[in-house]
Amino acid sequence: MALGGGTHSSALSASLVPIMAGPLRIAVDTGGTFTDCVWVERGRLRMLKVFSTPHDPSEAIASAVAQIVARVGAGPDVLLLHGTTVGTNALLERKGARVAFVTTSGFEDTLEIGRQNRPRLYELFVKKTAPLVPEGLRFGVPERVAPDGTVLRAPSDDDLQKLRILISETKPEAIALSLLFSFANPVHEKKVVEELASLEIPVSASHVVLPEFREYERASTVVVNAYLQPLMSGYLERLAWKLDGSGDDRGPSTARASHASLRMTEANTASRGRVFVMQSSGGIAALEVARREPVRTVLSGPAGGVVGCAAMARESGFTRVIGFDMGGTSTDVCLVDGEIRTSTEAEVAGLPVRVPMLDIHTVGAGGGSIARFDEGGALRVGPESAGAEPGPICYGRGVEPTVTDANLLLGRLRSDRFLGGEFALDVERTRKIVSEWLRKRAVRMTMEAFAEGVVRVVNANMERALRVVSVERGFDPREFALVAFGGAGALHACELAEALSIPTVVVPALPGALSALGILVSDVVKDFSRTVVWSVGKVVPREKLEREFRTMESRAKAEFAAEGWKGKPTIRRSVDVRYRGQGFELNIAYGAGFVAAFHAEHEKRYGYGHPEREIEMVTLRVRAGIAAPKVKLAISPSLERGASSKEKVVLGGKAMTTAVVDREAIGSGFKGPAIITEYSATTVVPPGWRGKKDAVGNLVLQRARRG
């Protein structure tokens, strides 16, 4: 399948050498501008970047995988690990399915009412995020279950038949079912699912997707799942069909698509390929799981970046890091304090989503972010992006200035070294169009001053995001290292570190495809939860706890076995705990001392604790994982030294002679000002910074001490 704009591939001198043999594992991360692929070939980590195809991301993926398989000459056993933005984009753009919402009678407007808390306390005219389900598609079931699971009123057969008829008349594409207290007893939800089966419409039931309390958040999560299910299912079927190689561009029929998807996901079948999808929680899931519960994939791509960031930083001895992933359309930031943690209190596109997710904060600031002047004459950058089509001006088709164009005009991005020199950036076109753009707006400034302003504004946007995950959560950024990745992260990292007084910046090997690398090394993960709300006095109900935990663990093991995964899964038990009367909880690892651990964590988080007060265990959680094949970071000597030169570059508002060095040419150490180029990224080292390439191939940059 031809792909406009060409493809680009490279090998990394610091390579990952597999300890275990197995199928060819190809990790793919689809982004706004590029689709990144990473795989291990003959002991060397290889990378392929192709331009994304926003109208259908599976086209770029299928094209890239075909090139890789042809190059490697792999046998029939190919395992594709996929990080996707399909669900995220559908939520942001409101392009999901037409959903019918079914709940307990009297609670049909739960999605509209939401919570009483205001997103901005002192803004009088706050606009609430509109629910995904309009009023005419909300239906009530006359049933009631008590908080302890006791059935107070069961729906009659007539009630269920009327519900089915009413829903069929509205012609929804998916159904979200969330009855009150179904987490305590799902008997009525199961009856509703059985009644609606004849409609042949996918049903997302809360007792399956999220058996937890808080009716609004649970309903919102289930609705998001239903909203994405037809879109994600269709996308994954197309991807599976194209990778299977036996179809054409018209797509599969329903029956044949189902067959292709099955062939991809049955781990014991000698198929041409199998597809697994990255979850927002930082683990891989089978294709059928992603189709059934797409809500677990809404932060799929960024989650891979967090895993890769933590893994590469750990190789260089850094365990407390702030991840900074600047791509083509957005910037994702995260904080890792020793270990990667998940959260169940996320919001995506203004909607609560309560499945486990890595704690990632996203802003609309990327290399493709478009610059503009607002009505007051102030320079703004983003969140609108040029994306892959048409892209920045320097890519040859765009007509609006972007952050990438600004970096090129300042000399920070080298036109002849982009993607290893395989794709030349058009400097003359950029100068001509930006000059005309400024003239039409009667802006009296040079192109260099404009470009410098664009960089400062986008830096300010990204600095605020870094403060959200650090300062605003009680962490001192001076105690962390900033790990910069993504195609544009290293261009801006040192300036952001200066602003936040972060002493060290780490630019990992393969920075432009670190999210794909994180997906490659991610474990297969399954998360289960169950709300119980048990008071804990002097005696902990350990027998009841063990029974509930074992039930969830048995389900995890059964699903692993059904998918064909070998090996004993690791199990992590945790409990959401609070003081009796509180409205929110802290997640604590379950063990003999979990009560004392809760008091200590409460003291750390809020500055006080009440060891004498009664506590409640609210929700039990199990995280089960099958480890990915182990990898060992090794150094492969470069066969040829990279190029180096001296060029004029604008840094900090001043033009200065700057060393431009290929990353392969770096010896034991270097100092700024310098521009370090490589296939997947460019690193800007300002004056006053020095660095080295460490034993694992990461660049470690540090500010010179002052005074």
pLDDT at 453: 95
Question: What end-to-end distance do the CA atoms of the chain give, in Å?
Answer: 59
Rounded distance, CA 378 to CA 361, Å? 25
pLDDT at 664: 83
Rounded distance, CA 529 to CA 546, Å? 14
pLDDT at 9: 41
Rounded distance, CA 156 to CA 259, Å? 38
Mean pLDDT by 10 residues, the chain (707 residues): 36 36 81 81 80 86 88 76 87 91 97 84 82 96 95 97 97 97 96 97 97 96 97 90 58 38 34 80 91 93 91 93 90 91 86 92 88 90 83 91 95 82 86 93 89 96 94 91 94 96 94 89 93 84 92 95 88 95 92 92 89 93 89 46 78 90 84 89 94 90 75
* Angle value at C-alpha 570, between 552 and 342, nearest 5 degrees: 75
Structure tokens at 221: 């999560």
> Rounded to 5 degrees, what are φ and ψ at 439?
-65, -40
Number of other residues whose CB lies within 10 A of the CB of residue 667: 9
Number of other residues whose CB lies within 10 A of the CB of residue 94: 10
Contact status, residue 141 vs residue 102, Cβ threshold 8 Å: yes
Q: Name which of 465, 622, 464 is nearest 555 in CA terms.
A: 622
Rounded distance, CA 203 to CA 177, Å? 7
Number of other residues whose CB lies within 10 A of the CB of residue 366: 32
Architecture of the structural domain at 524-627: 2-Layer Sandwich (3.30)
3-state secondary structure of 491: helix
Contact status, residue 534 vs residue 617, Cβ threshold 8 Å: yes
Contact status, residue 367 vs residue 33, Cβ threshold 8 Å: yes
Where along the chain do its domains lie? 1-518, 524-627, 636-703
Rounded distance, CA 660 to CA 681, Å? 13
One-letter-per-residue 3-state SS of 590-619: CCCCHHHHHHHHHHHHHCCCCCCCCEEEEE
Question: DSSP string of 497-527?
Answer: HHHHT--EEEE-SSGGGHHHHHHHTPPEEEE
Rounded distance, CA 445 to CA 438, Å? 8
Please report, for residues 265, 499, 555, the alpha-carbon distance to residue 568 in angstroms, rounded to integers and kept in the order given.
Answer: 20, 46, 14
One-letter-per-residue 3-state SS of 257-288: HHHHHHHHHCCCCCCCCEEEEECCCCCEEEHH
* pTM passes above 0.85: no
pLDDT at 117: 79
pLDDT at 402: 95
